Amino acid sequence: MIPAKECVAMLLAGGEGKRLGPLTREMAKPAVPFGGKYRVIDFTLSNCFNSGIYIVGVLTQYQPLVLNMHIGIGSPWGLDRKSGRVAILPPYVDKKGGRWYRGTANAVYQNFYFIDQYDPQYVLVISGDHIYKMDYSKMLHFHKEKEAEATIAVIEVPWEEAGRFGIMITSEDGRILEFQEKPQQPQNNLASMGIYIFNKEVLKKYLHKDERNSKSSKDFGKDVIPMMLKEGCRMYAFPFRDYWRDVGTVESLWEANMDLLSDKPALDLYDRDWRIYTVNPNQPPHYVAPYAHVKRSLVNEGCMIYGRVEHSVLFPGVYVGEGSVIKDSIIMPHARIGCNVKIEKAIIGEKTVVRNFCQVCSLEKEHPEIILIKENIIIPENAVITSTVIGHKKVN
Amino acid sequence: MRDVMGVINIDSMDEPLEELTGTRCIASVPFGGRYRLVDFVLSSMSNSGVHNVGVFTLNKYRSLMDHLEDGKSWDLNKKEEGLFILPPNNYPLVNYRGDLHNFYDHLDYFYRSRQKQAIVSAGNIICNINFSGLVNFHRENSAHITIFYKELQGAGEFEHCRKLKTAKGGRVLQIEEEPGTMEDSDRVMIEIYLMEKALLVELIENSTGNGSCSLLRDGIIKNIGDLRVYGFPHHGYLSVINSVEQYYRHSMELLNTKIYEELFFKHGLVYTKVKDEPPVKYLEGASVSNSLLANGCLIEGDIQNSILFRGVNIHRGARVKDSIIMQKCEIGENAVIENAILDKESHVSGGRTVKGQKNNPVIIPKRKSV
């Protein structure tokens, strides 16, 4: 365990997650529910606690309410300690006026006073958008061993996808020689995971420098890292070989949920030595009725199931009526599915009611699109829904 | 409710639930997939706005203390007051004669509590009650003591409980001294009652000199003519666990969704210690019907009419029927479990069979391998 003040984490949680459509209309991307129980940010918060990093600044900006309520004082993640805390750091006003965060680097720059009060040697910068389990203390150990000024966690991605990522070219011992942001012709497949450890003074210097550069977009990946590299900083790539997913699109969110349903998923939620923590909903055990059928699924507490659930993920308090069939779907907390409803490859929003005899499935048979139904709406009886519903209008 | 404190009184050193109470007091016996018996009364108190609760316990309270921690799960980790766990001051308990004895050791706790009334409850009652009805009734009648009672509906209910007789208007005329002696009443006393704290303190203070040591027998029943004792009917679900048979029967009642919904949702949620388990995972061979499953289970087998606690692992081909499987048990491939109660962390190897009789379940003790 590393002492609390050796390293402070800055968790970027202001992302809008535009490509998640209606899911992020009322909450930031890190607050999106995941895996039948969690919100995306739980993974990074749990990683911090499990890695012994007890001081976490959470930078919020876009739709922070759900996130703020969720994080509270950090008790579920064991971060409400004498020697640790979660601080939510939204944009603020001072004598010179107020400014929104103009990029990930600017957000950390504006909150450097938060880091300074703990006088850490190292700063861990992470993003609340990703699903993975990682021991940051190992990465810090690597950082110290290499006497690096900055260390970036990297993961091998399929070559054909390398163009979507920030790609590292490294020497044999892991020193970063070159960084290509979304290259058209990638020369390597080591992608940045958006997880950085900096020596605090080095970070401070380059954030100040980047701040003065009017052409910069104030982004770690696009601006700060390339500048540091250009100026000859000692930067290393820390290889990570486990499960890591950016759930930035509806498809990737759906797929990452479905990944959990395989026999031995790469992301093991049942590992008692590396638990993922979240706010507890205080629901009783879930009930499965005499003629219900549940197979290859995740089901949380408080659910009542009378119908058929196959290859799906059910959050707490979901009701599935008799004769209904739910397949390849994600049902968010407290959604109520009536009787004789058919739902296939869909994401049903929180507290939404799907009344009896509705059909929610794409007409496309070969590669059906994922149908998204927003939270807190009522789909009336007998409705046939074949595409995403973001309001009442599209309901037949 | 600012003026009402809670007293959970675990006043027996017996082992009414056989092996299930072998290493733990009755209040910490696991129940309903993720709870302990004490959770129900404690949650009811907390949900009703009682913010000062003393849990009096005699022996085998390690698991109870481990479970209750600082009361945070019940919102009872207060700056002032909150949850107090109060075991006897002196061991051995050979001279222990009754609950007043233990209360006497902790008189300071009663002196220090600023509330005017106390809800005194046993630790073996399954219920979800909003106490405001009881408190209002008590105050309207300027009662000294107001006791919950239930109307008996059928035979075999509330065995080992005392009966009582009331007059019109609710005044209690008589309470059975020995359970099973009163023939002409169908009202059974539930050991949850509200009493004036001053009276409680008086009874405790006077308990040492004259040899009286049981709050109910010596304090209430013997003085019933001199005190304003009222009965307050409890409607809705409530059960008392005094035997393995009752434990099993009332556990299985939770599979009745009317009872499930009433107990777990109607008057607020029931709280328990958080375990941070992931959702239940149903794998390919899973086949589950009429069962309750708490989080953290991995299911590959066949489960019928059963209750599974948190973190149970049922391997492929295993069959579980009419059984209660407690936390972190593991049932090996093709094992068969029927009419059984498996205490925490027991392990049934592949192919083995554990069978009890219908309504007479076999108990596999904690951490045992079969």
Q: What is the DSSP secondary-structure string of B72-104?
A: GGGT---SSSEEEEE--SSS-GGG---HHHHHH
CA distance B215 to A169: 79
Q: Which domain holds residue B291?
A: 281-364
CATH code for the domain in which residue B343 is found: 2.160.10.10
- B34 Cα to chain A: minimum distance (Å): 7
Residue B52 and residue B197 in one domain: yes
Q: What percent of chain A has pLDDT over 70?
A: 97
| Token output for B119 | 């809800």
Residue B246 and residue B296 in one domain: no
| Token output for B149 | 């009672």
Q: How confident is the model at residue A391 (pLDDT cuts 50, 70, 90)?
A: low
Residue B323 and residue B295 in one domain: yes
CA distance A375 to B198: 53
Residue B285 and residue B241 in one domain: no
> Does the residue B308 lie in any domain?
yes
Residue B251 and residue B286 in one domain: no
Is the CB of residue A81 less than 8 Å away from at least one CB of chain B? Answer: no
Is the CB of residue B370 less than 8 Å away from at least one CB of chain A? Answer: no
- Contact: B282, A297; criterion CB under 8 Å: yes
> Does the residue B321 lie in any domain?
yes
- Contact: A283, B269; criterion CB under 8 Å: yes
Q: How confident is the model at residue A26 (pLDDT cuts 50, 70, 90)?
A: confident
**Model confidence over A131-142: pLDDT tens digits?**
999 999 999 999
Q: In sequence order, what are the beta bridge partners of B320?
A: B303, B337
Residue B114 and residue B206 in one domain: yes
- A354 Cα to chain B: minimum distance (Å): 21
CA distance A33 to A66: 11
Is the CB of residue B75 less than 8 Å away from at least one CB of chain A? Answer: no
Buried residues in A334-354 as b, exposed as e (16+ CB within 10 A): bbbbbbbbbbbbbbbbbebbb
If phi > 0 it is left, if psi is from -120 to 50 it is alpha, else beta; for residue A303 that is: beta
CA distance B231 to B104: 27
> Does the residue B138 lie in any domain?
yes
Number of folded domains that form chain B: 2
Give the Cβ contact number of residue B202 at 10 Å.
12
- Contact: A295, B284; criterion CB under 8 Å: yes
Q: Please report residues of B whose CB lies closer than 8 A to that of A74.
A: none
Residue B305 and residue B259 in one domain: no
> Does the residue B273 lie in any domain?
no
CA-to-CA dists, residue A308 to A203, A225, A281, A313, A344, angstroms: 53, 50, 24, 13, 12
CA distance A30 to A19: 13
Closest of B322, B332, B326, B334 to residue B358, by C-alpha: B322
Q: What is the pLDDT of residue A20?
A: 86
CATH code for the domain in which residue B32 is found: 3.90.550.10
CA distance A215 to A207: 14
Give the Cβ contact number of residue B90 at 10 Å.
8
> Does the residue B223 lie in any domain?
yes
Q: Please report residues of A whose CB lies closer than 8 A to that of B282.
A: 294-299
ipTM confidence score:
0.93
- Contact: B282, A299; criterion CB under 8 Å: yes
Buried residues in A216-227 as b, exposed as e (16+ CB within 10 A): bebbbbbbbbbb
Residue B258 and residue B321 in one domain: no
CA distance B141 to B229: 10
Q: What is the pLDDT of residue B151?
A: 92
Q: What is the pLDDT of residue B156?
A: 74
CA distance B178 to B163: 9
**Model confidence over B290-340: pLDDT tens digits?**
999 999 999 999 999 999 999 999 999 999 999 999 999 999 999 999 999
Closest of B207, B214, B215, B36 to residue B118, by C-alpha: B215
Q: Which of A260, A277, A299 faces B280 most closely, judged by CB atoms?
A: A299
Nearest CA in chain B to A75: B72
Residue B223 and residue B292 in one domain: no
Is the CB of residue A299 less than 8 Å away from at least one CB of chain B? Answer: yes
Q: What is the pLDDT of residue A396?
A: 41
Is the CB of residue A77 less than 8 Å away from at least one CB of chain B? Answer: no
| Token output for B28 | 């910490």
Q: Please report residues of B whose CB lies closer than 8 A to that of A286.
A: 280, 292-293
Nearest CA in chain A to B273: A282
Of A37, A50, A283, A287, which to mutate for an interface test with B (greatest number of B Cβ within 10 Å)? A287
- Contact: A298, B281; criterion CB under 8 Å: yes
Q: What is the pLDDT of residue B160?
A: 84
Is the CB of residue B40 less than 8 Å away from at least one CB of chain A? Answer: no
Residue ranges of chain B with per-residue pLDDT less than 50: none
| Token output for A123 | 């700063």
If phi > 0 it is left, if psi is from -120 to 50 it is alpha, else beta; for residue A147 that is: left
Q: What is the pLDDT of residue B85?
A: 95
Residue type, B289: S
Residue B237 and residue B294 in one domain: no
> Does the residue B142 lie in any domain?
yes
Exposed/middle/buried for residue A54 (C-beta within 10 Å: 0-12, 13-18, 19+): buried
Looking at B232, B265, B298, the residue that finishes a domain is B265
The pTM of the full predicted model, rounded to 2 decimals, is 0.93
> Does the residue B370 lie in any domain?
no
| Token output for B129 | 């009650």
> Does the residue B272 lie in any domain?
no
Give the Cβ contact number of residue B227 at 10 Å.
17
**What's the mean per-residue pLDDT of chain A?**
93
- Are B278 and A270 contacting, i.e. CB atoms less than 8 angstroms apart? yes
- Are A109 and A207 contacting, i.e. CB atoms less than 8 angstroms apart? yes
CA distance B158 to B189: 9
Residue B191 and residue B286 in one domain: no
Of B256, B287, B295, B298, which to mutate for an interface test with A (greatest number of A Cβ within 10 Å)? B295
Looking at B200, B231, B265, the residue that finishes a domain is B265
Q: Which of A287, A296, A301 faces B283 most closely, judged by CB atoms?
A: A296
Q: What is the pLDDT of residue B324?
A: 98
Residue B24 and residue B92 in one domain: yes
Asked whether residue A3 carries a pLDDT value surpassing 60, the answer given is: no
Looking at B238, B265, B292, the residue that finishes a domain is B265
